[in-house]
Amino acid sequence: MSDVQQNPPSLSAREAAVEVITQVLLQQGSLSTQLSKIQGKVDFDHHALLKEFCFGVCRHFPTLNSIALSLLAKPFEERDYDVYSTLLLGLYQLQHMSTPDHAAINESVELCRTLKKDWATKLINAVLRRYQRDSEEIISEISSQPSVAFNLPKWLVKRIKKNWPDSFESIVEASNERPPMCIRVNLDKVSRETYKSWLDEEGIVSRETLSIDSGLYIENPVPVFVLPKFESGFVSIQDEAAQLSARIINPQQGERVLDACAAPGGKTGHLLEAMPNQELTAIELEPWRLERIEDNLTRLGYQAELIVSDAGDLNNWWDKTAFNKVLLDAPCSATGVIRRNPDIKINRKPADISELVEIQSTLLDNVWQVVEEGGYLLYATCSIMPEENSEQVDRFLARTSNALEVPLNTINSGFAMNISNAKTDHGIQLLPKRDGHDGFYYCLFQKTAVKN
């Protein structure tokens, strides 16, 4: 036996959840980043519970926060956000989990002691007991607040209503649900039909995506390691709408293709599955996120040139050889995928949208330069904000004389958009659909000769 002992799990699921939620409240990184940092300290058997606590609190944060504020004499200071997280977790268990009420309350009080904040035990006990006793009355008093009525931040409710009045309710519904699990079958290795039959053999019920021949929805989500041949790259987790990009780009043998904002590499892998013999370059700004692309490509068994850089900083990475096709899956507000990233409900602010619009605009201008004449750029976001999508495209077309918007089936005539999309001036806007695809935006440009 080795002398070197691994550190045994040192945190309970509740303790770890409080740490994660506190860090999210303090804007120290995304929920998924914080979760992956702490998981090693929690017994493997409790990982699902930890995830349920963290995702649950974030998913219901607007409502839980309103309840908490209505019961507290004053909000918590940042230095006590750990106590605040404890309270939110307690409320979440009382409202949404089958934890017996007394256990939810006692565990929350104990957590205050573990945090060495004994002063908070009385407060947390009193607030949770009050909610346990009078929950109906408390909820009815605050039910007209947008954050409670729609379980989304007020500013976001306003924007969704303004931009998509006819689809408002369905967007809210889809944004609040637990996300469906959609997988992408690697058609380079196996047909969807065969893979579906393997799932059937394991008792995993699935149904085909309608818009794309590689997707399957798993009726009851399972951990990835349960999926047949996941480790050998026969399948990946990817939303239906996200799977459209590789079909639209339709890479061909020997083509030079750029994936400009690539991590974690979902679309990089899909592009290679569609055509392993292309010259694919994938760029990512964050070095630690590039590792995620490496892991994904290793699992799938493909290779690409991987570069850490700002894709828009051409002097840093471009050798002046133009690309036939470019995918710009730009950083965005992720307002089409709130159900997968519910911490957006806590940390996304209206000012972020204008900042992101600027970043996207600069990226579009710079990355456009690497496209060959006659070549294509596919602009994609997982946002449902017109500023980031059709309005962004409108401004790009107005200032770029050699950019022509072309239909999404221009490269691949076999591509048919057979899922309903919202009315928009440019490109295709998909709104998130309950038990269906995420919110997504695509617009395809071709580079023409510069007019004199």
Ligand X SMILES: C[S@@+](CC[C@H](N)C(=O)[O-])C[C@H]1O[C@@H](n2cnc3c(N)ncnc32)[C@H](O)[C@@H]1O
The answer on whether 266 is annotated among ligand-binding residues is yes
Smaller CB distance to ligand X: residue 286 or 425? 286
CB of 78 to ligand X, least distance (A): 26
Helix (H, G, I), strand (E, B) or coil at 10: coil
The answer on whether 265 is annotated among ligand-binding residues is yes
The answer on whether 261 is annotated among ligand-binding residues is yes
Write down the H helix ranges in 186-286: 192-201, 244-249, 266-274
In the numeric block, which tokens belong to residue 415?
A: 């591509």
The answer on whether 319 is annotated among ligand-binding residues is no
Strands 279-284, 305-308: parallel, antiparallel or unpaired by DSSP? parallel
CB of 330 to ligand X, least distance (A): 7
Write down the H helix ranges in 202-338: 244-249, 266-274, 287-300, 314-317
Strands 440-447, 428-430: parallel, antiparallel or unpaired by DSSP? antiparallel
The answer on whether 284 is annotated among ligand-binding residues is yes
Smaller CB distance to ligand X: residue 11 or 311? 311
In the numeric block, which tokens belong to residue 319?
A: 């050798």
Closest CA to 233 of 276, 202, 197: 276
The answer on whether 310 is annotated among ligand-binding residues is yes
CB 47 within 8 A of CB 55: no
CB 272 within 8 A of CB 228: no
CB of 251 to ligand X, least distance (A): 15
Smaller CB distance to ligand X: residue 139 or 285? 285
Spatial separation of the C-alpha atoms in residues 128 and 140, rounded to whole Å: 17
Which residues of this protein are in contact with ligand X, per CB under 6 A?
Answer: 261-267, 283-286, 289, 310-312, 329, 331, 363
Is 382 among the residues known to form the active site?
yes
Spatial separation of the C-alpha atoms in residues 31 and 97, rounded to whole Å: 20
CB of 172 to ligand X, least distance (A): 23
In the numeric block, which tokens belong to residue 374?
A: 């006659």
CB of 244 to ligand X, least distance (A): 12
Cis peptide preceding 264, ω within 30 of 0: yes
Catalytic one of 54, 112, 182, 382 = 382
Smaller CB distance to ligand X: residue 91 or 272? 272
What residues are designated binding site? 261-267, 284, 310, 329
What residues are designated binding site for S-adenosyl-L-methionine? 261-267, 284, 310, 329
Q: Which residues are catalytic?
A: 382
